[in-house]
Structure 1
Amino acid sequence: MICRKLAASLLIGALALAGGAVVVDRRAAAREAAAEAAYPPEGQFVTVDGLRLHAVVAGSGPDLVLIHGASGNARDFTFDLVARLAPDYRVIALDRPGLGWSDEARAKGLSPLAQGDLLRRAAAQLGADRPLVLGHSYGGAVALGWALTAPEPPAGLVLVSAASMPWPGGLGGWYVINSSRIAASLVQPLVAAFVPETHVRTTVESIFAPDAVPQGYADHVGAGLSLRRDSLRVNTAQVNGLRPFVVDMAARYAGLALPVELVHGDADTIVPLEVHARRLAPLIPGARLTVIPGAGHMPQHSHPETVIAAIHRAAARAGLR
């Protein structure tokens, strides 16, 4: 009798869990579809190794590739920066593999070097064989990976708040939780299904802090694309897997022979200046570091004129201007 009651209880519990999973799945799928309808691709697609990679192309002049950071997409740049740069450059803003509208690169996509190689070949298909490359945050590691793997290095690098050096300690709570595949399989669908808009805006504010979020940015950037289950899974895997790659990459930075401009805020708590840019600059021959007093993690928005000046300097040093 006890065994029968236990079996019945387990069956009821399993059915309840299954029913809950169905609700979560349906709600997540509906929110994902709504986000994709609200934030469709802004550009075009190129295919590299069977992967469709999304690129927004604007302007004319020397080629300049923009690579976004973690949890992001090319919309971070199309909000304002692309329009500022288009009079002087042919700008190519790319979605990194598995984020925005670009296909996932599976295991290869965990490496910033492999991502850099994929984006290099995507840019080449668009006629940019030796562009300037700007990388923000995680995109800085990808830009460095591009320079380290390319048969011919890019014309120059502009590294903005770039994650470039091994860091002490671990990552934040979100990444710790999602380092477990089992926990991630439970948490990420719930986030995709139920995270409120107020939490999204609070998160965006924390990324910009101490700087203010520009008016209209949160509505433009398409955070809903980043909250899709596949995007959450890809992003957390990439960030959790980054440190071993930058350990190996750091040993090779001294061999880079190209103009490198670094821009970093001294109030950046996400990718701290003293851990990354301050230590990176002496490793690359001729690298120039611009520190922005009081700036946080998003100087391309809070101090765009400083970032654009660094781009112009890199272009001049490369003989493009």
Structure 2
Amino acid sequence: MKLALILAGIVLIFWGVTLWKAARHEARALESHPPLGQFVTIDGVRLHLLQVGQGPDIVLIHGASGNMRDFTMDLVVRLSDRYRVTVVDRPGLGHSDRLDRDGATIFEQADILVRAVGALGVERPLVLGHSYGGAVALAWATRHPDRAAGLILLAAASNPWDTPLSTYYRVLSHPLGQIFAVPILTAWVPDRVVTDTIAQIFAPQPTPEGYADYIGAGLTLQRRALRENALQRASVLEEITAMVPDYAALTLPVEILHGDADTTVWLTIHSEPLSRQIAGSNLVVMEGVGHSPHHAEPQTVVDAIDRATRRAGLN
């Protein structure tokens, strides 16, 4: 009995320290990487958006685990001289609230983002999505065709795949993982682990200089963000599978860009089939490029945005 009490005390102390360290880690992340833009509240959910520039509207939607800083580091600067650019933190990530505790589907995210950008006067923008954000962009276009002028899809997840969910996401999306594993990661995992993961995503290109510091690994390791991202990743395959039949009805201009060296979202599984599923879409295969086309070849992405703008009759 005495040993059991001692062990219980040790566990309680460890858990208390874990929660304290997790809160401290989050506070440091929010202090070092504060919001860049403004907040819009939709049905009690506070979303973080940044709007800069003048011209045709374009909305940028980031991928899994990330935040709007993935775009504000470079791409926004390249566009804001002739576009009104609205960048978002997807629900639960960056500085945006979660919609609920079940994980926001790509459809729920599209619905609330349409309303959020509408609150800033954006009614029918070009919509650019990267990776998981590409699935949200496709959900935006299929559910709200009158609220999108065109799509630019960068290494977008768009078609079903047959590889199982990783152990990491199986654990973090499980109810017990949400309660116990997430705070442990927030508290004890150093930011350099996120930095190493970023390097794997950029490969074979090097991580852009200063990227890891700029994007804020600590924002990714927030308990809210870890929980939400895991639930989103756990359900996205089913959601994309349900969305595929809707692609044939899309009539807006669609530019699809994908690197042939991408081993995160495979060209042959996603963008090549998608280019056949959407009539009139334009597929650009980027030779030797990994999972981040907008960092590897930003001008190629800007050219695609300009093409979509012309095709949509926005200039």
The answer to whether the aligner puts 1:132 opposite 2:103 as a matched pair is no
Give 1 or 2 for the bigger CA radius of gyration.
1
Gaps of 5+ in 2: none
Which residue identity is paired with 1:283? Q
What is aligned with 1:256? 250
- Three-state SS of the structure 2 residue aligned to 1:97 is coil
1:34-49 matches, within 5 Å, as 34-49=28-43
What is aligned with 2:306? 312
Which residue identity is paired with 1:76? D
The answer to whether the aligner puts 1:234 opposite 2:238 as a matched pair is no
- Three-state SS of the structure 1 residue aligned to 2:91 is coil
What is aligned with 2:114? 120
Query: TM-score when scaled to structure 1?
Result: 0.95
Runs of 4+ in 1 over 6 A off after TM superposition: none
The answer to whether the aligner puts 1:77 opposite 2:71 as a matched pair is yes
Deviation at 1:199, TM superposition (A): 1.8
Which residue identity is paired with 1:241? S
Are the equivalent residues in 1 in contact too, given 2:18–2:184 (CA < 8 A)?
yes
Which residue identity is paired with 1:191? L
Deviation at 1:107, TM superposition (A): 5.4
Deviation at 1:151, TM superposition (A): 5.9
Given candidates 267, 272, 276, the residue that maps to 1:273 is 267
1:277-316 matches, within 5 Å, as 277-316=271-310
Partners of 1:286 and 1:145 lie apart in 2 by 18
Partners of 2:103 and 2:41 lie apart in 1 by 15
Are the equivalent residues in 1 in contact too, given 2:56–2:84 (CA < 8 A)?
yes
Partners of 1:108 and 1:117 lie apart in 2 by 16
Alignment RMSD (CA, Å): 1.3
The answer to whether the aligner puts 1:196 opposite 2:196 as a matched pair is no
Partners of 2:189 and 2:117 lie apart in 1 by 35
Which residue identity is paired with 2:137? A
The answer to whether the aligner puts 1:162 opposite 2:156 as a matched pair is yes
Partners of 1:26 and 1:47 lie apart in 2 by 29
What is aligned with 1:103? 97
Which residue identity is paired with 2:114? R
Gaps of 5+ in 1: 1-6
Which residue identity is paired with 2:251? A
What is aligned with 1:4? none
Which residue identity is paired with 2:172? N
Given candidates 245, 253, 258, the residue that maps to 2:239 is 245
**Structure 1 residues 158 and 250, CA gap change in structure 2 (3 angstroms):** same
**Count of aligned pairs between the two proteins:** 315
Deviation at 1:222, TM superposition (A): 1.1
Deviation at 1:257, TM superposition (A): 1.3
Are the equivalent residues in 1 in contact too, given 2:37–2:48 (CA < 8 A)?
yes
Query: TM-score when scaled to structure 2?
Result: 0.97
Q: 1:191-223 CA distances to partner (integer Å, 9 max, x unpaired)?
A: 111112332221110111111111111111112
Deviates more, 1:46-55 or 1:102-111: 102-111
Deviation at 1:136, TM superposition (A): 0.4
Which residue identity is paired with 2:97? D
Q: Determine what percentage of the aligned residue pairs are the same residue.
A: 49
- Three-state SS of the structure 1 residue aligned to 2:273 is helix
Are the equivalent residues in 1 in contact too, given 2:191–2:217 (CA < 8 A)?
no
